[in-house]
Structure 1
Amino acid sequence: MKEVSIIPKREWEALDAYCKIANLNKTELFREFVRSLLTYQPPTPDSDEDSSSGES
């Protein structure tokens, strides 16, 4: 099976290097990016939409 990426290899390598420096995995980095968007609305306390994150 062929490996497919949505970004060029050089950009993927830069992302990987940044994650190692910042001590984040790519999922955490992506979540931080999404939360930084002006349109992001955090879930309400009664919402179980983000119940798997472990945040309180």
Structure 2
Amino acid sequence: MDKHKVIEAYRRGLITLQECGQILGAEKTQLDDLMRVDHSRQPLGSNPYLIVDQL
């Protein structure tokens, strides 16, 4: 899954920061850096929803 989509899902409140980290395989400090860098990106297209399958 594209890391930007995962981060966008976190920002929209669809997943927690912990879930975001698990999906990306990142630790909290790495997530903080990703959130800071990725903040300048534009939102994902016109579809505001991301569908995530529950395991």
Give TM-score scaled by structure 2 length. Answer: 0.36
Give TM-score scaled by structure 1 length. Answer: 0.36
